[in-house]
């Protein structure tokens, strides 16, 4: 049985039907093609915080992170600007470069050299959110990471998008994000960090969503992956997520199981084919 799973990010709700439509459009024979296609569809939809729907940094820039991973390869971009589909650039890093990760202007130059067109993902949603963040900072509502976490309104934004798949007994994963506002220029979250926001091997694939700093510190995805086969996948995921103080979610697939779970709203879709 083949399977593909998509999530719309921590904080997403009411778009399960849309995600199922995207899953249907991603029923492909190759696992990497499937997860990349699913993430591209979400990057092109400005509801989601990835690609065109990405949030702005406090300086007004939009820097995006994305990663892909298979049982045998990994590629990621960090803080990339002026491209429409960062996940496809991450795939090119894996397949067409000698590196695993490219960042900043180097990632952008690489993308444009390979034919990815210049693209401005700015939207009214992103501008409005940035202005609200600046107002909160100027008013003193946000003056530290701790206070930001205590005052964060998860319903006001959505996080990373991602997909995992098992097709013909092969696994793949892909993630993309516009970050978690408010954020400084250059901030990198968990999404492009292998083991934190994404991990894939011959036992399965896992991607995460939520507060990137916390996910990185806990290396969430590889901590789940390393437990696969020791007990039911559902128990593994719930146990790991229960240790998080702030919002976190996961979609995961193994050789004979799959599971999606979040400690906050998280729209997702599961398609067996």
DSSP character string of the chain: --EEEEEEEET--S-HHHHHHHHHTT--SSHHHHHHHHHHHHHTSTTSSSGGGPPPPTTS---EEEEEEESS-EEEEEEE-S-S-HHHHHHHHHHHSS-SEEEHHHHHHHHHHTTPPP-----HHHHHHHHHHHHHHHHTS--SHHHHHHH--GGG----EEEEEEETTEEEEEEEE---SS--TT---STTSBTTTEEEETTEEEEEEE-HHHHHHHTHHHHHHTTBTTB-HHHHHHHHHTT-SS-EEEEEEESS-EEEEESS-EEEEEEE-
Task: Report if pTM > 0.85.
Answer: yes
Q: What is the pLDDT along the chain (273 residues), one digit of tens a residue?
A: 999 999 999 999 999 999 999 999 999 999 999 999 999 999 999 999 999 999 999 899 999 999 999 999 999 999 999 999 999 999 999 999 999 999 999 999 999 999 999 999 999 988 988 888 788 777 776 665 555 555 555 545 688 999 999 999 999 999 999 998 888 899 999 999 999 999 999 999 999 999 999 999 999 999 999 999 999 999 999 999 999 988 899 999 999 999 999 999 999 999 999
The pLDDT value given to residue 153: 54
What was the pLDDT predicted at 146?
Answer: 55
Catalytic residue among 31, 52, 160, 264: 160
The pLDDT value given to residue 182: 83
Each domain of the chain, given as residue ranges in start order, spans 3-272
> Is there a catalytic annotation at residue 70?
no
Q: What is the pLDDT of residue 262?
A: 97
3-272: CATH topology: 3.60.20
pLDDT at 143: 60
């Amino acid at each position: 049985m083949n399977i593909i799973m998509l999530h719309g990010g921590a904080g997403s709700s009411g778009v399960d039907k849309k995600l199922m439509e995207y899953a249907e459009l991603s029923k492909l024979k190759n696992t990497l093609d499937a997860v990349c296609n699913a993430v591209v569809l979400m990057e092109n939809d400005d509801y989601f915080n990835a690609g065109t729907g990405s949030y702005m940094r406090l300086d007004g820039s939009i820097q995006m992170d994305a990663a892909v991973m298979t049982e045998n390869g990994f590629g990621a971009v960090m803080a990339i600007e002026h491209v429409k589909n960062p996940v496809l650039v991450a795939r090119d890093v894996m397949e067409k470069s000698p590196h695993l990760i490219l960042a900043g202007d180097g990632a952008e130059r690489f993308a444009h050299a390979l034919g990815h067109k210049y693209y401005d993902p700015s939207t009214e949603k992103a501008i409005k959110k940035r202005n609200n963040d600046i107002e909160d900072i100027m008013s003193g509502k946000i003056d530290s990471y701790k206070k930001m976490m205590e005052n964060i309104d998860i319903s006001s934004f959505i996080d990373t998008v991602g997909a995992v798949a098992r097709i013909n007994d092969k696994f793949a994963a892909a993630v993309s994000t516009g970050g978690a506002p408010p954020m400084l220029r250059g901030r990198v979250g968990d999404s492009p960090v292998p083991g934190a926001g994404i991990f894939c091997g011959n036992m399965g694939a896992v991607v995460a969503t939520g507060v990137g700093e916390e996910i990185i510190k806990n290396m969430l995805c590889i901590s789940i992956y390393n437990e696969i086969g020791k007990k039911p996948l559902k128990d593994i995921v719930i146990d790991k997520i229960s240790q998080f103080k702030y919002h976190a979610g996961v979609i995961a697939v193994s050789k004979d199981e799959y599971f999606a779970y979040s400690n906050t709203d998280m729209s997702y879709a599961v398609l067996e084919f």
